[in-house]
Structure 1
Amino acid sequence: MKTTLQFSILLAATMALGPLAIDAYLPAFPVIAEDLGVSQNQVSLTLSLYLFGLALGLIIGGPLSDRYGRAPVLLTGLGVYAISAIAIGQSTDVQWMILWRLTQAFGGGWIAVSVPALVRDTARGRDAARLFSLIALIMFIAPAIAPSLGSILLWIGRWPLIFYFLSVYAVGVGILMWFRLLRHQPRKTGAKEPVSRLLTNYLAVLRHPMAWRHIVIQSLAFSTVMLFVTHASFMYQTWFGLNNAQFSIAFASGVVCMGVLGTLNRRLLLSYSPVLLLKIALVIQVGALLLMNLFLGINNQSLWAFLPMMILVGGTIGAIAPNNQSAYLEHFGRLSGTASALIGAAQFIVAGTISTASTWIVDGSIQRIALAMFVCSLLATLSGLSLANHPAPSDEPAA
């Protein structure tokens, strides 16, 4: 158990680089806009474009991790992430900041693709799902404290300090991962696939009959959450009038619920399949969003009718993500890095597109935000209900 816990903590600390890069600098948007002489909307582009940079990093990093091993890809990603974070802090105009944010995201993609692949290399089936849940449970702290951490760093110094912190954190993670895990991993041996076959590996994954269903679930469930993250400040602070402290509590409450449901999910995995628990979580999420839309139609100024449903919607990701990812990767062994990259890239591209488009479509309407979230969740649920509760063993197609 100690070894499993240490392994999970290491991987969770590594995965936390993603939410920290997204959420930690949110409180600094007004200061960054003032320093760079641009609008906050232009600063917001550094968040939306970060998702596309992540997707590109995942697409390229996944096949490379299958070909060269997890350690080279992960450590290179950490290096790119750390150097880019320093460059972001040195940026004097928004164009350079966007460029370095894209570079940071690219490195973040190489980091993000390595963790699920390491889990798949280590465990299978319910064991993998429980490991994913434990990692999610540990790392749920990151998005919960990220805005508060950013506020503290802003209080200590200027906004570049946030990115310098991210750089130091990435270097520290790299050192720990090398000495505690990666140097003990078996090295890639034997003939490597030609580089030309890296693209055909993606086609091999896509030819699997179950791949698309899991990709749709992951992409739309993540889009549901990203719609909330994109508009959280507007909903809580502008619409319901919460102050900064109240907003932080409301935002963190959904993450706490995520941790609670993640813990419950780990226990239930001892008796039930990941796919069955995935279906239940999807139904709960879409049901909560249906009630939220009904409540907003009756009284769109009632925070106490809105907040419990929003907390539950965010919390269900604690069961949806690990169960879906473990069920998906169960179909892939040799191509686990490629498969992980594909589902990760899809979720970031789809969520980035939907969240960016939503800034024009919702037009300051909380009802439209809630409706967009409901549609994404409904489509994810319909795809999830079509899965078999006990999927067949891996029948990974040949590349």
Structure 2
Amino acid sequence: MPLAGNKTLSARITVLEHGRVRYVVHGPHIHGTFHLVPEQLQGGTVLPSSLRVQFGDGVDGCDYYEHRTDEPVIFGMSLHGWTDGIDPDDVSDGWFLGRYATSLRAGVHRELTTKVRRRTEDVIRALVAHWRTMPHRNELLLAAARPKAGALALHEASLAAQAEDEVTELQGTRAAARRRLNVVTGIIRRLPRPIRAADPAPVRLPLMDRRNRPLGTITVREVAVNEDIAGTVVYEVHGAHVHGRFTVGRDIYRPQPLPEGVHVAYGHARARYFERERDHEPTVNGVRLDGGWDHGTTGDLSPSTPASLPAHVRLTRTSGHSAPDATARRASAVLRVLALHYLDRPDSAALRLAAAQDLAWKHLRDTREKLRDLRRRQTAAERRARQHREREQQYRALIASAVLGPDTALRLTA
């Protein structure tokens, strides 16, 4: 075999089991044994498409810190380890030895010198060029692929099952998204229902703590209905150590086409989301509060439940802390009674529809985008499932070829 610099390499070649080929080489400043091993990799091609070159003899491998028999010696330096990932049809012209190609002396790994490294790569190119021209190359690949074929078939079957489970889950999610799309479309098509204008007449409401003990009464009057935020009512509250405004509407953080819960904001809200400060933020026990309370349902509301609701005190524009316990108890009672008062309106259903229609076009766009994404993900999962099932069958064909003959395996794995 030709080497660089008009030199030649002689080798005694032996085909071993599992597609290995042993090269016992002699040449200028070189002697020793190399093994060329087709790599059967998990996730790689069904028939091996790369080679690992092992330095030294032996088919059982060895510890990284133990020598193999007849390790190659080049320019007086012993080679230890291996290099892998070599494409036999396109061997690199540059440096390609991997990190496990070293020289082992007294249990210490040393890097190869530049001269040894270049000559080693030149030798490997010559060996791979010879291996590539062997007349029974396909049989070598088949012999290398069979030992791991059973385990790799099981691996591919597992990946296929995972992809198929994902397809089933995505099909259910897509069905739910289509139902949601129908609901949103129905909301858009419904005619708005009449909403009562703000009633300035004051209403007295009793406050209760979480143990149903009275905390006094508040006077409530409506300031605005369905104006800045669809489906909301702004209440001005006075009495029982409470002064200021609250904005009550349907829940805003759960993207239901038809909102189910309730939201109460401290102050006169002008926007649905992300207001740092609001006009007329209330004081409770002399403490000014901000923020709000969002609840996903309405069936569990009463004058005394839920027990503890948010009460936040702003210190600066971006910082604050929880209100004192007494203030939080009274604020919770106010939030509960206002939510119930809002839900008791005769036009509560109309306000709910107004809130839903205000967000319906956004929900429509989001749901359509979600359906497109789900369809893309399902197509990709179906493709992965098919590919893994095909690979599983190809690996099983390799196992069957041990009985039926190599021509069958070549035909099925093509």
Kindly indicate whether structure 1 or structure 2 has the higher relative contact order, using CA contacts under 8 Å at least 6 residues apart.
Answer: 1
| Smaller-chain TM-score bracket | under 0.3
- TM-score (norm. length: structure 1): 0.19
Larger relative helix fraction: 1
- TM-score (norm. length: structure 2): 0.18
